[in-house]
Amino acid sequence: MKNIIVTGGAGFIGSHVVRLFVTKYPEYHIINVDKLTYAGNLANLRDVENLPNYTFVKADICDYDCMCQLLRKHEVDGIIHLAAESHVDRSIKDPFTFARTNVMGTLTLLQAAKEYWQAQGWEGKRFYHISTDEVYGALEMTHPEGVDPPFTTKASSAVHHEAYGLKFFTEDLKYQPHSPYSASKASSDHFVRAFHDTYGMPTIVTNCSNNYGPYQFPEKLIPLFINNIKLRKPLPVYGKGENVRDWLYVEDHARAIDLIFHRGNVADTYNIGGFNEWKNIDIIKVLVRTVDRLLGRKEDEDLDLITYVTDRAGHDLRYAIDSSKLQRELGWEPSLQFEEGIEKTVQWYLDNQAWMDNVTSGDYQKYYDDMYLNR
């Protein structure tokens, strides 16, 4: 029996990781530790919440005594650390919250794990920290004159990109964070690596590109715009929409986490990306066409909802992950092409309006109270 804590397991990526581990490894005991802030939602896990190898604990990762007690009580062998504040716009308005959760929360977990594991010996233990590609800063978008950059799914490999002279984030790049969010994640990454170098803790860090898919809180671009298109609300686009992001379907990220947790090299770093770059404006147009088609509307009927707004402060122009190390060493690659993934995602949100209404109304807190406190 492996006893594994997943922090932030009621969030978007975390809930997919919890679901995968609970169902794939019935011999494991998965302890979901989540504070249930605005983006944490136990409704994301209703299909597994009653399984015998799943336990939910409402707790703050910054509470050192609580984390120490949890590690001892459940005899924890591994930690998959996903809990984080992650919305850049919120970090610009409130950097202190990001420093507390992302930096001090990670340090609290590390210290609690060190105190518990060090006396037993490090064998069989693992601290896996999930980070972001934003710690690397921004990439240039230089390409040959008159050649359209390969920002679509046709650009399925780094080799194809390199033919156009484009750069990628690789594991050996220096950190250059540009927002309070990315600065807080960069700091937490450094603490994780320092605990390996100083104490010998078996750690792993991964840096991932933008995720999309079911159960994502609707402050992020894709679920927000799907809902706005459906309701015919404005689609606010920063600047000219030229910013480029690499997109990865969330279940592919969960599969990568599973693989790296079990087979990744201790003290190593792995980049996880979809080799799937899109300009923001292009992905928004795809969302409009897909939602309109699935709702039986005329093609491009809602393109006039696009509204250009003042660009965000410190807005990085391009992120692009090189996942070739992960592919080469562990055999992982994305399972879905973007068109297939976005179709599944749009359909899920259209079919689950009750979930959308629930997470935006705060009723999920009542669900938690009824499920765990009022019985």
Quick: pLDDT tens for 265-308. Answer: 999 999 999 888 888 999 999 999 999 999 999 989 999 999 99
Give the residue ranges of DSSP H helices in the chain: 12-24, 64-73, 88-93, 95-98, 105-117, 158-162, 180-199, 221-231, 250-263, 280-294, 324-330, 338-351, 353-361, 363-368
Per residue in 57-71, pLDDT (tens digit) is 999 999 999 999 999
**Band (361; pLDDT cuts 50, 70, 90):** confident
The contacts of residue 69 (CB under 8 Å, 6+ apart) are: none
User: Residue 242: its pLDDT value, please?
Assistant: 86
Would you name the residues annotated as active-site residues?
133-134, 181
**Band (23; pLDDT cuts 50, 70, 90):** very high
* Single-letter residue type at 33: V
User: Residue 263: its pLDDT value, please?
Assistant: 98
Rounded CA gap, 206 and 254, in Å? 12
Which residue has better confidence, 209 or 156? Answer: 209
Rounded CA gap, 278 and 120, in Å? 47
Q: Is the pLDDT of residue 152 over 60?
A: no
User: Residue 161: its pLDDT value, please?
Assistant: 56
User: Residue 313: its pLDDT value, please?
Assistant: 85
User: Residue 269: its pLDDT value, please?
Assistant: 98
pTM above 0.85, yes or no: yes
Per residue in 230-271, pLDDT (tens digit) is 999 999 999 999 888 999 999 999 999 999 999 999 999 999
The contacts of residue 351 (CB under 8 Å, 6+ apart) are: none
User: Residue 371: its pLDDT value, please?
Assistant: 58
Task: For residues 170-192, give the mean pLDDT.
Answer: 96
Alpha carbon separation from 357 to 37, 86, 343, 350, 354 (Å, rounded):
17, 21, 21, 12, 5
